[in-house]
């Protein structure tokens, strides 16, 4: 890295992605270390709901105290942000940024299929995020918390969830192929 000319954090020469199997091995070691040291796996969608609960608690604390699901997270004097998943969430943001920086991928772009406009892609991304997180809260975890972590600890329910995620996506993929191809 020392031989590179200084170009700031943007516009660095873009490097290719690592080989999928290598990425998987590194991810596996990270997940193992997490389980081995802390007894907990990886995740992020739990942080999303905790941030939402925190925001709602600032605006309407009495509403939080009357909503059973939010009550468990932020009821009374409970601090929804006092949880291990928050540092993991913000750590992941920082880690993603750092990787993008190191490999020269920091750029304001929209990744999309060739036949749709940026606006359509943004709308679909927002909609997909909404649907995904709704499902993730229902299943008590997303691809990281259930499929990856639960898969690696042989949790029976997590394996079903993993298959359900792939089933849902494959079942719909054909009908919305215009979005991506």
Tally the residues of the chain: 181
Burial 125-154 (b: 16+ CB within 10 A, else e): eeeeeeeebeebbebebbbbbbbbbbbeee
Q: Is 89 in the site for other proteins (CB under 8 A)?
A: yes
Q: Is 11 in the site for other proteins (CB under 8 A)?
A: no
Q: How many CA atoms lie within 13 A of 120 on its CB side?
A: 10
Interacting residues with other proteins between 109 and 138 (CB under 8 A): 109-113, 118, 121-138
Q: Count Cβ atoms below 10 Å from residue 68 Cβ, excluding itself.
A: 8
Tracing tokens 């004097």 back to the chain, one arrives at 77
Nearest distance in Å: CB 134, other proteins: 4
Name which position in 11, 14, 117, 180 contacts other proteins (CB under 8 A): 180
Euclidean distance between CA atoms 70 and 53, whole angstroms: 6
Interacting residues with other proteins between 57 and 86 (CB under 8 A): 67-70, 82-86
Q: Is 34 in the site for other proteins (CB under 8 A)?
A: yes
Nearest distance in Å: CB 42, other proteins: 5
CB 53 within 8 A of CB 74: yes
Nearest distance in Å: CB 19, other proteins: 7
Q: Is 23 in the site for other proteins (CB under 8 A)?
A: yes
**Which tokens go with 24?**
């998987």
Euclidean distance between CA atoms 43 and 83, whole angstroms: 12
Name which position in 1, 4, 59, 171 contacts other proteins (CB under 8 A): 171
Q: Is 108 in the site for other proteins (CB under 8 A)?
A: yes
Q: Is 7 in the site for other proteins (CB under 8 A)?
A: no
**Which tokens go with 120?**
């359509």
Size of the site for other proteins (CB under 8 A): 128
Name which position in 7, 14, 18, 115 contacts other proteins (CB under 8 A): 18
Q: Is 43 in the site for other proteins (CB under 8 A)?
A: yes
Q: Is 49 in the site for other proteins (CB under 8 A)?
A: yes
């Amino acid at each position: 890295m020392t031989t590179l000319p200084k170009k700031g954090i943007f516009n660095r020469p873009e490097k290719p992605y690592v080989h999928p199997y290598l990425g998987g091995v590194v991810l596996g070691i990270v997940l193992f270390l997490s389980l081995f040291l802390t007894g907990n796996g990886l995740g992020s969608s739990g942080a999303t709901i905790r941030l939402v609960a925190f925001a709602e608690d600032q605006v309407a604390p009495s509403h939080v105290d009357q909503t059973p699901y939010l009550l468990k997270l932020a009821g009374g004097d409970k601090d929804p942000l006092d949880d291990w998943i928050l540092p993991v969430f913000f750590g992941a943001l920082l880690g993603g940024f750092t990787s993008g920086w190191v490999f020269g991928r920091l750029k304001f772009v929209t990744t999309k299929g060739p036949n749709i406009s940026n606006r359509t892609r943004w709308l679909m991304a927002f909609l997909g995020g909404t649907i995904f997180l709704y499902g993730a809260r229902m299943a008590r975890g997303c691809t990281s918390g259930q499929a990856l972590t639960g898969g690696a600890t042989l949790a029976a329910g997590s394996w079903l969830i993993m298959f359900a995620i792939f089933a849902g996506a494959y079942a719909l993929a054909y009908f919305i192929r215009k979005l991506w191809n």
